[in-house]
Amino acid sequence: MKTKLYEQVFLEALRASRVLRGVVHKTPLDCSTTFSKLTGGRVFLKLENLQKTGAFKVRGAYYKIYKLPEDKKKKGVIAASAGNHAQGVAFAASRYGIPATIVMPITAPASKVLATRGYGANVVLHGSVYDEAYRKALEIAEETGATFIHPFDDLDVIAGQGSIAVEILEDLKDIDVVVVPIGGGGLISGIASVMRNLLGDSVKIIGVEPEAAPKMKKSIETGKIVEIPVKSTIADGLVTKKPGDLTYQIISECVDDIVTVSDNEIAHAIFMLLERGKTLAEGAGAAALAAVLSGKVDVKDKNVVVIISGGNIDLTLLSRIVNRELVREKRIMIIKGELPDRPGQLKEVLGILARARINILEVIHNRYDPMLEPGWARVKLIVEVPNPELIDELLSQLKSYGYMFRVEE
């Protein structure tokens, strides 16, 4: 009887896990009390954000290069990636002392471009999405003779990612649900191949895609691989226009369901991981947890493993996400009002805030708005609030002094 593809991947993943020991980290499988309480399940986080290069991709990249014949290694390797696969290939190539060229979309975060160069790779910026970078990489491979290392649609790469599942099962035998982000599908294909072979149908495997790029979900629903238009998303590592041939086949056979999450849900998961889990994740890395926290994956009374696939987030984006979530939780608020444009008026308002234990982050003072009455100024205050209920008390105090302020929605 012909061996199914996911059975081949399983056997290769067992070999990969042996090769990778001592090369990559065995990352923690952390049982989160916070997320367990919030969801009603027993939530285990597989922290691949703590992996070398900051993401799981180094597993598949290293195993693929390990299996190359020596004559091909000497000609070097080339890859296309939005960031994490780039760093994985660059790291693996540096371990073998061979040249690496990485084609990255021009939209790739600067932090990932710099990190990839830091591992010694030559970086070529081309195209706005992965698929355009991919075509350029193939051209360069044809010209130079370098071996193209596919980020997901390669059996050895998939098997390398499958070593994550081998590690999980070494630490936890009783698993009801595994939730995995989907970009091109290599990660979930590797994990699902191992889980299906060792646990059978007793485990539910759920994939998660951003709403901006649901290529695998659309392909599974259609019954064939389809190419979709993609939109911008903070989960840039999960953006491709279409799945791979191998990953589509494995996911069709092994994955129970695919759900999508919004950027708002992903941002909330990043924030919660950072504040409550003391864990830094990028958008793609937090997508699986976003599906769990939003209730799109039922985990009540179940043991659920959530893959936190990477932590290489751009710090400027992280800053925006943190501030935005603080505003959503009303821990940072904006109040605004008008006051007479006379010396001492603003000082008096700020004194009232200080006595109310309200920390002021920013003052925006505008006396030039033509809609204002002459002799008045509009003031907007961005404030840090220890307790949102204090705002009502503050507004009352301001009113008692004749200052009419309100919360900006």
Catalytic residues: 57, 309
Integer CA distances (angstroms), 105 to 109, 113, 128, in order: 9, 10, 5
In terms of Cα–Cα distance, which of 77, 103, 82, 80 is closest to 92? 77
Report which secondary-structure segment, H or E, holds 20.
helix 5-20
In terms of Cα–Cα distance, which of 55, 59, 71 is closest to 112? 55
In whole angstroms, give the CA distance from residue 285 to residue 102: 21
DSSP string for 124-175? EE--SSHHHHHHHHHHHHHHH-PEE--SSSSHHHHHHHHHHHHHHHHH----
Look-up of token digits 């649609």 = 153
In whole angstroms, give the CA distance from residue 125 to residue 43: 39
